[in-house]
Structure 1
Amino acid sequence: MVIVAYDDVQILDVACPSGALEIANSHGAVPPYAVELATVSGKAARSSSGIVLAGARRLATVTGRIDTTLVVGGAGTHEAAVDDRLLTQVRRLARRSRRIASVCTGTFVLAAAGLLDERRVTTHWGYAQLLAAKFPAVTVDAAPLYIRDGDVYTSAGVTSALDLTLALIEDDHGPTVGREVARELVTYLHRPADQAQISVFLSAPPPANRLVRDLLGHISAHLAEDLSPPSLAARAGVTTRHLTRLFATHLGRTPARVVRAARTEAAAHLARGSELPLAAVARRCGFTSASTLRQAFLDHYGVSGDAIRRMPDMPRPLAAPATQTPGA
């Protein structure tokens, strides 16, 4: 795998793929991955955090067959996307590669090189509109974590590089190696490609109230625990009535509706990304039973749990918030 870098690159875009591939090798990936960092000049690439990535080779010296060419993103992407020397080398490497991939705003480089015309791609949600405006021949979908269109893979922002790399490992070496790598990386779950980039807690600006922000973090990390309004109020040191007023003011929903939406979204992603029975998914996400979870899916998405697993893309929540159902 050749990782194409440049100055002001996002260091996580490099570290996530290279680290995961190293771990795959330790778990018996055959043939093993050989990862090389390459730049136009062959000199070290300075990351946007100030850390220098040494050991790079000159792109023009990369010859022979290449398994994967991966272009990473970062603050320097826009300069990289108008660097004719870099674009020429990326086109050359693409012709020699079994597959081509990008992380985050690295998609701009692939698009500028003419490698994404008439393809469906993704990038970091904050740059999707700009990508679509600059490259009208490219179909931009800002929702998924990563997209495969033929032999071209594009992924969303930063840590989605790990999800993409785990998918590549599983494609190359099977689900057992992929799971072992994910376990060693201590990831909660290998997120499926169609999981939304923006969760229920990130789809809007964070609430200004610190207490509400802290409770949202607690909810997302403790879905299977007691998240009833009295329990949340006790944790925050306020009355249940005051908690309800705070949620109504800053989130426009009751605490019960916020908890239910968080549990339902997490359950949908877990159901799609694993083979766990629906009853097990329900327990992990704080529902009292599989039937309660099925009702939550119907209320939130308008489809059943079985239908969610069969759908090619993640369903969108219904416009109206779900009615609270006892037992969640």
Structure 2
Amino acid sequence: MDERLTVVVGYPQSELLDIASVTTPLHMANQLGAAPPYRTRLATSGGRPLPCDSGLTLESQEALEHITGPLDTLVVSGGIGHEIAAGNPVLLAHIRRLAAVSRRVASVCTGATLLAAAGLLDGRRATTHWRYAGALAAHHPNVTVDPGPLYIREGHVSTAAGVTSALDLTLAFIEEDHGPHLARVVARALVTYLQRPGDQAQISMFVGAPPPEHPLIRQMVDHIVNSLDGDLSPTTLAARLNVSERHLTRLSLEHLGQTPGRFIRQARTQAAEQLLVSSSLSVADIAARCGFGSAESLRRLFIAEFGASPTRYRQARAERSG
């Protein structure tokens, strides 16, 4: 394979971030050594310029009707124009045609409306932005709509919740294609979160509650959740924030209700739990990714927290979901 051709389908009033959250990680992966590389093309009906709902206009690179397979990946973007686009039978016919010759098919945000209208989500579990999940379920009863996860992958069809969740799905594609190391390097280059698992909630512990009001504690929380595999010892953390360990502990107790160490353990545990149930990574890899140092450390914590080893916890979750 000389390259992995990815076609992103846009339509009037597409969301710019839905598009860029796919194309930018793939471009970054190429810069960091993806082999075979990705070739990404933005396609519109007639090859016409694409007015985005942000007010900016993108130039199309391909006329949708001129594209033939095979494709590596077909991605349908979201945007406030999704309902009008989903009512365009010609556009839907091209999406069905290209989906049939694509190794992977995906949607971002309300792009799921187009996949559903094209019949590509019938009998499947899918997600979309939580704000539009009810409408998608009402209009497409043959689709099992789950508004909770960041993204859902069912066979060769994937749906992402919206906007930056497309980053997480694209990083999952990169990991599938080139391994976890490149995916992590791309995530770091993009200064984005440690790759979030697909079934992490759209509204998680880190964004579901208001951020800490104190700027130093907010900075501490941001650093912790983005650096779970790094050195988060009390000495290093306090030095990074230019305060004493005692002062940092006092502020953390006041604004988070727990010590920095307890918050770090909670964040690492949640990340490990999500990776266990949403990925095929080994327990050792998950332990390293989440900053536990060793698989044995993670095993002891899971037995203390959940009464089961990581392996048994993963099996039990799989049995319940099956």
TM range (shorter): 0.7 to 0.9
Aligned residue identity for 2:14? V
- Correspondences of 1:239-258 after superposition (within 5 Å): 244=253, 246-247=255-256, 258=263
Task: State the partner residue of 1:265.
Answer: 270
Does 2:134 match 1:129?
Answer: yes
| Structure 2: runs of 5+ lacking an equivalent | 1-5
User: Any idea what SS the aligned residue of 1:68 has?
Assistant: strand
Contact kept, 8 Å, 2:104 with 2:156, in 1: the verdict is yes
Pick aligned residue for 1:303 from 299, 303, 308: 308
Pick aligned residue for 2:51 from 41, 46, 49: 46
Pick aligned residue for 2:39 from 34, 40, 46: 34
Does 2:178 match 1:179?
Answer: no
Contact kept, 8 Å, 1:144 with 1:195, in 2: the verdict is yes
Deviations 1:204-260 (A, max 9, x none): 4546676765554354346553469xx79x779979778646546xxxx78776444
Task: State the partner residue of 2:74.
Answer: 69
Contact kept, 8 Å, 2:212 with 2:256, in 1: the verdict is no
| Structure 1: runs of 5+ lacking an equivalent | 317-328
User: Any idea what SS the aligned residue of 2:47 has?
Assistant: coil
Residues 304 and 219 of structure 1, relative CA distance in 2, 3 Å threshold:
same
Task: Give % identity.
Answer: 44
Residues 276 and 99 of structure 1, relative CA distance in 2, 3 Å threshold:
closer
Query: How far off is 1:54 after superposition?
Result: 0.7
Contact kept, 8 Å, 1:2 with 1:70, in 2: the verdict is yes
Give distance in 2, aligned partners of 1:242 and 1:268.
28
Query: How far off is 1:45 after superposition?
Result: 0.9
User: Any idea what SS the aligned residue of 1:99 has?
Assistant: strand
User: Any idea what SS the aligned residue of 1:14 has?
Assistant: helix
Task: State the partner residue of 1:97.
Answer: 102
Pick aligned residue for 2:170 from 155, 160, 165: 165
Task: State the partner residue of 2:10.
Answer: 5
Give distance in 2, aligned partners of 1:63 and 1:197.
35
**Please, what TM-score do these two structures have when normalized by structure 1?**
0.72
Query: How far off is 1:153 after superposition?
Result: 1.6
User: Any idea what SS the aligned residue of 2:188 has?
Assistant: coil
Aligned residue identity for 1:120? R
Query: How far off is 1:291 after superposition?
Result: 6.0
Aligned residue identity for 1:78? E
Does 2:232 match 1:225?
Answer: yes
Aligned residue identity for 2:302? F
Residues 92 and 243 of structure 1, relative CA distance in 2, 3 Å threshold:
closer
**Please, what TM-score do these two structures have when normalized by structure 2?**
0.73
Task: State the partner residue of 1:20.
Answer: 25
Aligned residue identity for 2:284? P
Aligned residue identity for 2:181? R
Query: What is the aligned residue count?
Result: 305
